[in-house]
Chains A and B, each alone.
Chain A
Amino acid sequence: MIRFLYGHQLDAFPRLRDTMFSDRADQFKRRLKWDVHVSEEGFERDEYDDMDPLYVIAEADNGDHLGSMRLLPTVGSCMVNYHFAHLLTGPVQSPLIWESTRFCLARHAPRKTAALLMLAAGEVMVGFGVEQCIAVFDQRMVRIYRLNGSEPEILGSMGEGQDYIGVGLWSFNSHAREAVCQRIGVAPQESRTWFDLHFGEDNRLGQVG
């Protein structure tokens, strides 16, 4: 299932929380060899996790983490304008743009997990009037975006292959929703329901981006 959780809500789901931070260590430290800090318990957490971000999480039936991403508004302190500033020509700051970082997939996550997460993040954007996400991604994500017919507009990048890190803008609209839904066999009403169940139908500011 898909969950939308603020940082302060994670403690109510200890298993999900811990497997998310250890899957992040596995992906960013071990596989991608990014310069990230991993705690003694094997968790990859940084100062942005302490800023009470909004996580979009795919959860397995047994409560384990399958994949996730982390959302923060760009008008406050956020990662792209600080840690990835060298990839941008200047800070991106807008109430209509949120940042999406730490897109992570568990090692044995089902193939469609990435698409589910993109769809879920898209529902958050539409529901809260966010027009674009500025995302930080690795090479594999570029393929995943392409596969789902919603490639980000690359604003900057460095490195190649395994070392590739890109920053780009990602938007979501009815066309992107249909494409992803069709590819992974989810009815568009279903993905809307994820949002409605969590944030409430009355909290939906818009129907389609």
Chain B
Amino acid sequence: MLQYWTAILTEATIFGVLALGIDMIWGWAGDFDLSAYAYFALGVYMTIIMTVGKAKAPVEYVLGWRLPYLLAVVIAVVVVVAFASIIGAIALRNLRDVYFSITTFGAVWAIYYLVENFTPLFNGYNGVFGLFDPMGQHLSYNAYHYFFFAFCLLVLFLVYLLVQRLSTSPFGRMVRAVRDDERAASVYGRNVFWAKYRTYLFGAGLAGLSGGLFAAYIGAFNPLDWKPTEIFVLYAAILVGGRGNPRGVVLGSFIVYVGFVEMTRYIPSPAARPELGPALRQILIGLLIILMLKFRPSGLLPERLGTDGTSVQRSWRRWFTRSRRLPDPRPDDVASDPVIGVES
């Protein structure tokens, strides 16, 4: 039982790091990025192939180094950020809102099919494996898992501190101003692309880090493990916890991962229908996304307002009140809409 809980909590912790990264991109900068799961996957792949050693036929993959785990994770994060800098430069330059989402959606599927079919890269459909424990040889099986959980928890805590610090900093404030109205932000001297781009790369880096942790947790990885649609679970977690609030995002990841894994465990899944449990889980995720979006888009712990701290009761009262409705689009927005207002 304890082992079981350790496994679930380790997973929730790892995905907490990923959720914090994705929330920076979506919650702070307002870019609904559907390709972030590819950064996570790239982090996993890179970490594994840099630690398991040379590929033996018929398995094939690039690199095949045997580096220390932590060094491999650091390099993986660097590679992920470098990769995200290309996608981000393409998608963030001129495209916003649904167009940004469509682009990243297309990009992630293109990457997915490429990885799945181009075996020299990461062994294609069969994926990379070679279970390894970064500390395994020194510890017993159980002790290792507790240790690894503690390690992930520590990483999550440090990442949380970092993100929380950034969130309340002038940088976080500026990125949110860009999210809320980028024309107004550029009127006040802010380089919109640069603000979004830096946030994007930071978020992608966290996704890569989370992938590095996951690599050690799972030990084997193939395209079935990272269907781009898996990212919806993370968006559900962010929506539940509170978009734009790092504390809420961590809370949301634990609620969704622990809650949903637990809930679906009690759904009878007959041997003939192994897909039943996961399918119900996905349905619940879908419902969660829609209902949160409709009835409580700001989540359990809404984004914190930058106040001067003199009227705190206002912000905790917000716990119990529904967030305000969004107003109609502004006329200027309509004018720049590609369909409604193309100037000809």
Bound pair (A, B): no
Residues of chain B at the chain A interface (Cβ within 8 Å): none
Residues of chain A at the chain B interface (Cβ within 8 Å): none
